[in-house]
Structure 1
Amino acid sequence: MALRVHLTLPELALRYLRKDPHHLDPEERKVLETFKERAPISRDAADIEEAEATFGDRLADRVAAVGGSWGFIISFGVILFGWMLLNSDILAHWNRAFDPYPYIFLNLMLSMLAAIQAPVIMMSQNRQGDRDRVAASHDYEVNLRAELEIMRLHEKVDLLLARIEKQEMGG
């Protein structure tokens, strides 16, 4: 059994994946092409995704990072408490409260903030889902490539063992 070094893509597909070349997934085709060329396939999925990110994507990620932090929650709670204290005690003492209880203006501002912040956070979550899909696809490619390399090494070891056995028996 001679091991051919330069197999075509269809031959690689049939030999290692046992698939018709026309039925290969894009990831499988990419892996076989890099396998054939002996080129590396590993790359950082985060770098790929970041290179494709728009300004709006990065802004959504920053808003979600700030809006989902304890620092934001605590500081926002302090601001709300200060607003209520200012309008209930301090300014109300001189009849100058601009938003007295039940804080209608504060409720309006909070509703507007929620109406803007919620879709932005959802955009960031969608981006995270996209990042996860890119990472999963990349993991599959790397795993498949490693599997193919192991199969190729097994063939080489089998070929060497066959040569050794042949030499021991006849030569």
Structure 2
Amino acid sequence: MSEQAHQQLAKQLLGCRYEELSPVQRSVIDLIATEAPSGVNKALKHDDRTFGARLADHVAAVGGSWGFIIGFGVFLTVWMAWNVFVKGKVNFDPYPFIFLNLMLSMLAAIQAPVIMMSQNRAAARDREAAEHDYLVNLRAELEIMHLHDKVDEMRDQQMIELLKQQREAIRLLKGQVEKLAAKAKI
């Protein structure tokens, strides 16, 4: 479509010039002008994460699951029970569980940044999805406004045509009334 059509759509739908629009609004006007479908955001569909990013997401998914929480709770209970109730050389971490605390601290030190990295990527994906949703919603709203304008224009044209037909019918009816009045006088 021409530059003039883009200007007209921007003025009609958003009330400002095409150059004054944000990039998202321009892309919506472009989609409406070309009547192209919005489609799925390719960035949302394409998985371009590195191996480390996929691993971090998997660790975050496992670490945040009920299975992990229950399994880890069972492991901690067994560890503590073994070291408290079994006597002799097999209890390798007696009561204050110093080795267990060391292992838990190391796990937390590794797992926390991994989960935060995964959350940052999830937030970035959510922002992209929200921007795509905004684009689709804005386009739908503008298309509906555009359709309302077209329907109003069609209705106005229909009303004009009906008025013309009504005037013609009134003119013919007046002619018939005048003929009948002239015959009645004779």
Q: Same fold (TM over 0.5)?
A: yes
Matched, 1:68 2:68: no
Shift of 1:103: 1.5
Letter in 2 for 1:109: M
**Aligned mates of 2:134, 2:89 — CA distance in 1:** 67
Equivalent residue runs for 1:3-14 within 5 Å: 8-14=5-11
- TM-score, with length taken from structure 2: 0.77
Local SS of the residue matching 2:145 = helix
Tell me the equivalent position of 1:135.
129
Tell me the equivalent position of 1:55.
51
Letter in 2 for 1:20: R
CA separation of 1:54 and 1:23: change in aligned 2, threshold 3 A: farther
> Cα deviations across residues 111-160 of structure 1 (Å, max 9, x unaligned)?
01000111111112222222221222112111111111112211211221
Matched, 1:22 2:19: yes
**CA RMSD across the alignment:** 2.2
CA separation of 1:116 and 1:139: change in aligned 2, threshold 3 A: same
Shift of 1:29: 1.2
**Aligned mates of 2:24, 2:45 — CA distance in 1:** 17
Deviating beyond 6 angstroms after TM superposition, the runs of 4 or more aligned structure 1 residues are: none
Q: Is the 2:83–2:95 Cα contact (8 Å) retained in structure 1? A: yes
Tell me the equivalent position of 2:181.
none
Instruction: Count the aligned residue pairs.
Output: 164
**Aligned mates of 1:80, 1:43 — CA distance in 2:** 46
Matched, 1:83 2:84: no
Q: Is the 1:49–1:131 Cα contact (8 Å) retained in structure 2? A: no
- Kindly indicate whether structure 1 or structure 2 has the higher relative contact order, using CA contacts under 8 Å at least 6 residues apart: 1
**Aligned mates of 2:72, 2:18 — CA distance in 1:** 58
Specify the structure having the higher radius of gyration (Cα): 2
Q: Is the 2:44–2:129 Cα contact (8 Å) retained in structure 1? A: no
